Amino acid sequence: MAGGGPRGRFLIAGTAILWTIAIPAFYASASSTADARHLAGLWTARGGIAFFLVVFSARPLTEFWPGHATRWLRRHRRDLGLCFALTMAVHLVLVLAVPLIWPEGSAEAPDRVTLVGGGFAYALIAAMALTSFDRTTRALGPRAWNRLHRTGAWTVWLVFVQTTAGGLPDQPGVSILTTGLLLGAALLRLASFLRARRSR
C-alpha cells in the first residue's frame, strides 16, 4: 500500500517528537521514579492501542462510511502503522530497559504466558514494520505480505484484548471502553470480510 509521502513522514516524526517530549515530562513531574515509569508505560500503551485501532479499522471504515476522513486514514494506514510500531518500541524500552537503569519501584516480572504472548506479538510488530516499505513489500510478495500482516494484526488484537480485559479490577471504566472499541473494530473487519465474500 502506498504511504502518505512527506505527510506520512511528518506523522512518524511527530510521533517520535511526542514521546521524546512526553517521557522526560513524566519523569520530571512525577513524585517518584516508580510513578513516572507507571505513567509513561500507561500512556505509551494507550497510544499504541489508539494507533492500532485506527490502522486495524481503516479499511472497513472506508468501505462502510466513505468520506474525506476515512479515505485519509486509509491512505495513511501504513504511516500510522509505523507510528504504532514506534510507540510500542518506546513502550518496550520503558518496560525492559528503564528498570535496569532505575530499579526503584520496579514491578513484578511478568508471568510466562505474558512473556511468550507479548514476545511473539512484538516479533510480529517488528516484522510488519520492516515489511511496510515498498522494497521489502515487493521482496516478500503479495501473498506472504497479506498473510504476515493479517496474522500480525489479529495476534496484536488478541494480546490487547487480553491485556485490557485483565485491567478491569483496577480501571473498570477505561478497560471496558478500550475492550469495547477493540471488539467493535473486530466486528467491523468481520463485516467487511463477509461483505466481500457475498460480492464474489
Q: Residue 197's pLDDT is what?
A: 85
Q: Residue 113's pLDDT is what?
A: 64
- Integer CA distances (angstroms), 179 to 60, 111, 138, in order: 19, 22, 35
Which pairs with CB-CB distance under 8 Å and at least 24 residues apart come from 19-23?
Answer: 19/44, 19/47, 19/86, 19/87, 19/90, 23/90, 23/94
Burial degree of 134 (CB within 10 A; 0-12, 13-18, 19+): exposed
C-alpha angle 186-47-58 in degrees, rounded to nearest 5: 40
Contact in structure between 73 and 62 (CB atoms under 8 Å): yes
Q: Residue 5's pLDDT is what?
A: 64
Cα–Cα dist 85/124, whole Å: 10
Q: What is the pTM of this model?
A: 0.88
Cα–Cα dist 55/63, whole Å: 14
Cα–Cα dist 166/162, whole Å: 6
132 Cβ neighbours under 8 A, 6+ residues apart: 3, 78, 81, 82, 85
Residues of the chain with pLDDT under 70: 1-6, 97-114, 168-169
Residues 146-190: tens digit of each pLDDT:
999 999 999 999 999 998 887 766 778 888 999 999 999 999 999
Q: Residue 1's pLDDT is what?
A: 42
Contact in structure between 75 and 4 (CB atoms under 8 Å): yes
Q: Residue 181's pLDDT is what?
A: 96
